[in-house]
Structure 1
């Protein structure tokens, strides 16, 4: 008998081929789409809003921060000349608030439908699991699980509503690897926002890690079952990105290493939103580095211009459909450690000064 061949999940879930990030795409392919973004008033969410509005998309931002969201929408409309940029107050932990956001987004859409939903809202901070209060009392007080509420329950609400609204998008095309982006630009797309904490433990933030692992589980489940509704599901997994969500404590811990950049997260997300041929894929976004792949599959950090090397901030952890995930995690940690070693004590000291400045309010 021939040796047993493990069954590939790729065909069963109609997953598109691995993402080749060296192949160019056109940001202008988002033109004509109506895109709903939760938590889009700051961080890389605001980067999404600016870039996609500039390319001609209708963008509806839902955020709990009314001041930031309203200012962002006004600024982007003025900067881009795109009148179809809107802010709607939304608390993602409140079901009715999200219902209202989706209903308003459909009303504001020039074609009456929603083409892409980006479940971007997320928070970090002091974790009740790590700092329990009142544990000497006879009965400990109820913990604050706000991080879990926003990063897990809020995302589940968003995904649930996306599955209601996306198939009702009149004039959109069901997901297909044979679509022609730029000509059939209106499709049905859910983009989930996980984290490197979806793949690896984050010891100081158990709630955050648990929630982002849940987002990964949601992605792996939905991408295998979304085809009857014609919905494609993709996932971005940012490393620590230089935005306000990275706390002072995290910046001190990361001192001497490197953080990712907002523009690289925007690049990864835009590829997914714009290229309707990509189904069921994910990309990790980290610091931009120059790498050379060795014969054993591992990566080495090398100098820019080294023969056989490539500069990248993007990796696909599931290019082989979940195989060698642990090897991927080991590889990326090795690269990040090499970055820290290469930067040395000067890099550490520079980041400490920046972190202290950030804590004093100079970097916000």
Structure 2
């Protein structure tokens, strides 16, 4: 018998990505971004810093990171933006990033974390024979998996430690507890010739789908972005040959989608794929680019119906978590009643 546990996982409703959103909630928030010296991370940092947030960037590129933060400080007149050198594959390096970020934050807390650091395919190619004249292959180098998956797991583990230190958010003006994961279209499809990358991004998707079922108990909202091939300098000229005629997404669309997640504190447990801009009719069919019947969109929600039907184990596990949280509330209430009854009366 199928179970629907959408309500008890505290997911927000499916998104209308054409609706406007207000970025004022980002003011005075402290946001930690791994891999923030270039690419999407740099775009996020620039956008949110200009919305009044303090951004703290962790990146292995010291030269580019420091220069970018200096630029942000001048542009926003906010001296609190920081660059901290960080190798995401090194646990202690990430520990130092988060501890220092909390110390340097204007309000001594971290409101949001973006697990953005990533690389293209590096290391051993699993689909290519190597040194067949040898008795055994060399030890493989899992560089892409180390950065794009193990590094993300380190970031998430630290976010789950630091974010709950914030007071529970009751309104947009109060501290947030937001974790944004960056996957890829390779989280959803086989990525021919890039097996390590595909493994890592599939892992990020699995992390998101599992974590969002339970992160509510710590007041943490978890969301995911999965960009398609983007028209950026990161696309190698040879890659553009393969992508010719397919269409690529826009960097600014990814930044705006991330900004919606960051600014709207009601969004919990949602995932968006970002691709080329298209127009669709009411039934989801493609319209000509010059059509006046619909707005151009680039983001599409996926896994919007997770937890509507789950197996007995997941249903029972999440319900037990809810029961435990409810019990904690009752215990606290009962304790307050006992204190009120037995504490001595105070005199005016």
Identify whether the pair has TM-score above 0.5, normalized to the shorter chain: yes
**Conservation of the 8 A alpha-carbon contact between 2:89 and 2:151:** yes
Following the alignment from structure 2 to structure 1, what is the Cα–Cα distance between the partners of residues 180 and 141? 28
Following the alignment from structure 2 to structure 1, what is the Cα–Cα distance between the partners of residues 116 and 132? 34
Please say if 1:21 is aligned against 2:17.
yes
Please say if 1:188 is aligned against 2:177.
yes
CA positional deviation for 1:13: 1.2
CA positional deviation for 1:261: 1.2
- Residue among 80, 83, 89 paired with 1:87: 83
Please say if 1:147 is aligned against 2:144.
yes
CA offsets, 1:249-306, max 9 Å, x none? 3222112222111111111101111111011001111111222243xxx422323343
The structure with higher relative contact order (CA 8 Å, sep 6+) is 2
CA positional deviation for 1:317: 1.0
TM-score, normalization by structure 1: 0.80
Q: Which residue of 2 aligns with 1:362?
A: none
Following the alignment from structure 1 to structure 2, what is the Cα–Cα distance between the partners of residues 132 and 190? 39
TM-score, normalization by structure 2: 0.84
Q: Which residue of 2 aligns with 1:303?
A: 289
Following the alignment from structure 1 to structure 2, what is the Cα–Cα distance between the partners of residues 191 and 96? 21
CA positional deviation for 1:173: 2.4
Unaligned residue ranges in structure 1 (runs of 5+): 324-364
CA offsets, 1:26-85, max 9 Å, x none? 122211110000001101110011111111101000001111111111111112222221
- Structure 1 residues 82 and 304: CA distance shift in structure 2, 3 A: farther
- Structure 1 residues 254 and 9: CA distance shift in structure 2, 3 A: farther
Q: Write out the 4+ residue segments of structure 1 that deviate beyond 4 Å after TM superposition.
A: none
Please say if 1:232 is aligned against 2:217.
no
SS in structure 1 at match of 2:144: helix
Q: RMSD across aligned C-alpha pairs, in angstroms?
A: 1.8
Unaligned residue ranges in structure 2 (runs of 5+): 309-348
Q: Which residue of 2 aligns with 1:41?
A: 37
CA positional deviation for 1:244: 4.0
CA offsets, 1:145-171, max 9 Å, x none? 1000000000000000000111112xx
Q: Which structure: larger Rg?
A: 2
**Conservation of the 8 A alpha-carbon contact between 1:36 and 1:117:** yes
Please say if 1:209 is aligned against 2:198.
yes
Following the alignment from structure 1 to structure 2, what is the Cα–Cα distance between the partners of residues 275 and 15? 14
CA positional deviation for 1:140: 0.6
Following the alignment from structure 1 to structure 2, what is the Cα–Cα distance between the partners of residues 65 and 132? 33
Following the alignment from structure 1 to structure 2, what is the Cα–Cα distance between the partners of residues 104 and 90? 11
**Conservation of the 8 A alpha-carbon contact between 1:119 and 1:155:** yes
